[in-house]
Structure 1
Amino acid sequence: MTAALTAAWRDPRALAVHAEEVLAGLPHKADRTPGQRARLDAATDDARRGRTAFLAEHGQAVYDALTGNRTRYLWLDELLDAAAELLDGLVPTREQMAAEAGRAQADKEGREIDQAVFFSGVLRHERAGLHLMESLLRPTDRALALLPEFTERGSVDLGRLHVERVGDAAHLTVTNPDALNAEDNDLIAAMDVGVDLALLDDRVKVGVLRGGEMTHPRHRGRRVFSAGVNLRHLDAGRISYTDFLLRRELGYLSKLQRGLLPVDASGDPVTSRKAHWSAPTVQKPWIAAVDSFAIGGGMQLLFAFDRVIAASDAYLSLPAAQEGIIPGVANLRLPRIAGSRLARQVILSGRRIHATEPEARLICDTVVDAADPAALDTAVAAAVEELAAPAVLANRRMLGLAEEPPSVLRAYLAEFALHQGLRLYAPDVLAKTTKFSGTS
């Protein structure tokens, strides 16, 4: 099979090699003439067209070769490393990505787009795509290492996230106070671990997510749910395509909805007492407690939760059109939850929804009086008690299958994987984020 893939890759590889040769002969990106930029764009487009066509025909065979016919489960970075070793030029090498890492977003060569082409090509094939999605449902190594401490002490500090077991619930509190709990690479990694711990601990029946108190001058001492993606980090080139944009959707957000796939000592999925043959993933209901605002990725999160409780002075927004990137899986979920017309107003026009508006009830199950400091805590405690009922899990699982079958999510993610990579380097996105240059 490898020989056949190598032969099929010969012509697309030549295009990839040519693009690298053109790039190697050019000065720094900022010093290129319009003609040089046009020549590189043409060569790069040809190479990406070749990769796309190759993966459309051979993507399943490539994935099978990388995973031993889907017997091995690889993380996103492991899959990229294996693909770079299998077929030269199919994806950027680790060394090429390291050279990009220290650059501002506007100064990068856009190699993450080639990663996007690869993952989109894999996800477009049903067997490969579903297996990749399943691979990212495994618990992280860090969560497995921290699990004994968490089960014994009932709490763990993950830096950007604090996890504490209170009664039947695991409370995940986002602690990125100087950035209004905006998401960055570190928070995504912490959320993956925190969700894992809540799902792995047998004493936890319900998960709760809430934002912690702020140190930001405008909101000092107030809780904030989320300000979305950290645009300062995006401008600085510190928002990773794989470790943030793709891992977020395939990792902890998918675990919130689809559950955790338990593994054995070697890291392979297993059937155990935690994952009975009738329910291979460990699922639990989740509650979101929204203080102040849920912007961008914060609002996206709400669509994955079973119960959303908001303070009356909170608002929700998805400024995707203004920021220029795709709001994760919101384009798939929000029309189902709130209707196509409202979804278009929110996503395409940036409509802000206040918790006291009638439309907010399509997203928020309960709105409590913001003037009562205990109201949100009381509502969360009542929701935990209700959702801890034994029959909730079975019905939750069936609702999830009816609302978002894995095949539907896979088809969406195949397009998202490509177009989010393209938007990450779109001129309008780069122009909007550069206003944060020089800040951290």
Structure 2
Amino acid sequence: MTDQNLITAVRENILYITINREKALNALNKATLAELAEAITFANTTDEVRGVIITGSGEKAFVAGADIKEFSDYTGAQGEELARKGHELVFNAIENAKKPFIAAINGFALGGGLELAMACHIRVAAESAKLGLPEVSLGLIPGYGGTQRLTQLVGKGKAIEMIITANPITAHEAEKIGLVNYVVPQSDVIAKATEILNFVKKRAPLAVSAALKAVVASLNNEGYQVETTLFGECFETEDFKEGVAAFVNKRPSVFLGK
């Protein structure tokens, strides 16, 4: 794989993926999503790979969201297509992968970053990490599975609170509500994720794959399609235009509900 936005390496049957856009807080732009899709395919089709760890470069961010400037002028149809392609090529592809994916959350996991972590099968967070879905502050809703996977992980009440307040939570609170599996010092995030996969490597690969498929199958419903449709509709609102303008200009938003 030849990547510009990722650093990838296979060591002892584990594929390590580092999103390498530190200056942009590892935000997910189109190019990065395309490279992630390629890496997921590589993991699924390469016998040498028994598991995958995804992390972000630097100490500040895992992934601090999507690259908002790339879709700031999208229409509703373009927004819906953005979500649909993201689901198909990256987020659902991770959840439905034949190999276990672990998110090593080394810092901020916000918006699309938290959605990426939730698509993974296991999450290990640094003590300093903050996790949240701030999309409503931009006039949007989570569009990469956030409304569905957060609800599955933490329950309806807490998911609604996190999504409609847009307030992030600490790693320790995330562990308490079941959003992450482990909280460790930042220096130990990769080591803990590797430790988990080293156990998995001792188990029967076909059985591991079957177990992943069976568990994910228990969660299948129409919610992802509903989310994708509503995500696209948000792009047609005046509130979305205001939210993005406020974000770009670093000022408070003034939403009118239109």
1:191 matched to 2:36? The reply is yes
In 2: Cα distance, 1:182 partner to 1:301 partner:
11
Question: 1:211 and 2:211 equivalent?
Answer: no
Residues 287 and 307, structure 1, Cα contact 8 Å, conserved in 2: yes
Query: So what's the TM-score if we normalise by structure 2?
Result: 0.86
Higher helix share: 1
Report if the CA contact (8 A) 1:353-1:360 is conserved. Answer: no
In 2, are the aligned partners of 1:307 and 1:383 still within 8 Å (CA)?
A: no
* Counterpart amino acid of residue 44 in structure 2: L
Shift of 1:180: 0.6
Structure 1 or 2: more strand by fraction: 2
Task: Give, as a single letter, the amino acid of the residue that structure 2 aligns with 1:382.
Answer: E
Report Cα offsets for 1:298-351 as digits up to 9, x if no partner.
111222222111111111010122122221222122222111111011111123
Partner Cα distance (1:359, 1:204) in 2: 28
Secondary structure of 2:16's aligned partner: strand
Q: Is the 8 A contact 2:74 2:235 kept in 1?
A: no
1:362 aligns with 2:166: no
- Determine if the alignment matches structure 1 residue 380 to structure 2 residue 217: no
Distance 1:292 1:166 in 2: 23
| Residue 356 to residue 413, structure 1, CA distance change in 2 (3 Å) | closer
Compute the displacement of 1:413 (Å): 3.4
Distance 1:224 1:157 in 2: 23
The higher relative CO (CA closer than 8 Å, separation ≥ 6) is in 2
C-alpha displacement of 1:236: 5.7
Indicate which of 300, 309, 313 corresponds to 2:115: 300
Q: What SS does structure 2 have at the residue aligned with 1:251?
A: helix
8 Å CA contact 2:62, 2:105 repeated in 1: yes
1:1-20 aligned within 5 A? none
Match of 1:180 among 7, 25, 29: 25
TM-score (norm 1): 0.52
The SS at the match of 2:40 is helix
Over residues 128-172 of structure 1, what are the superposed CA-to-partner deviations in whole Å (9 max), with x where a residue is unaligned?
xxxxxxxxxxxxxxxxxxxxxxxxxxxx33111222111111111
Structure 1 residues 293 and 437 mapped into 2: Cα distance closer, same or farther (>3 Å)?
closer
| TM-align CA RMSD | 2.3
- SS of 2:7's equivalent in the other structure is strand
SS at match of 1:356: helix
Distance 2:185 2:224 in 1: 38
Following superposition of structure 1 onto structure 2, how do residues 218-367 of structure 1 map, counting pairs within 5 Å?
A: 222-235=59-72, 241=79, 244-259=82-97, 283-328=98-143, 329-357=145-173, 360-367=176-183
**Which contiguous aligned blocks of 4+ residues in structure 1 show a shift greater than 6 angstroms?**
none
Summarize deviations over 1:198-233 as a string: whole Å, max 9, x none: 1111100101100012xxxxxxxx252111112233
Matched, 1:160 2:8: no
Q: Deviations over 1:27-63 (max 9, x none)?
A: xxxxxxxxxxxxxxxxxxxxxxxxxxxxxxxxxxxxx
Q: Tell me what 2:225 maps to.
A: 414
Looking at structure 2, the residues matched to 381 and 413 of structure 1 have their Cα atoms a distance apart, in angstroms, of: 30
**For the pair shown, which has the larger CA radius of gyration, 1 or 2?**
1
Whole-angstrom distance in 1 between the partners of 2:16 and 2:195: 14
Instruction: Go from structure 1 to structure 2 and tell me whether the alpha carbon gap of 1:183 and 1:356 turns closer, same or farther (over 3 Å shift).
Output: same
Aligned identity (percent) is: 22
Q: Distance in 1 between matches of 2:174 and 2:248?
A: 39
Task: Give the one of 242, 248, 253 matched to 1:431.
Answer: 242
How far 1:243 sits from its partner (Å)?
6.3
Once residues 319 and 376 of structure 1 are traced to their aligned partners in structure 2, the CA distance between those partners, rounded to angstroms, is: 24
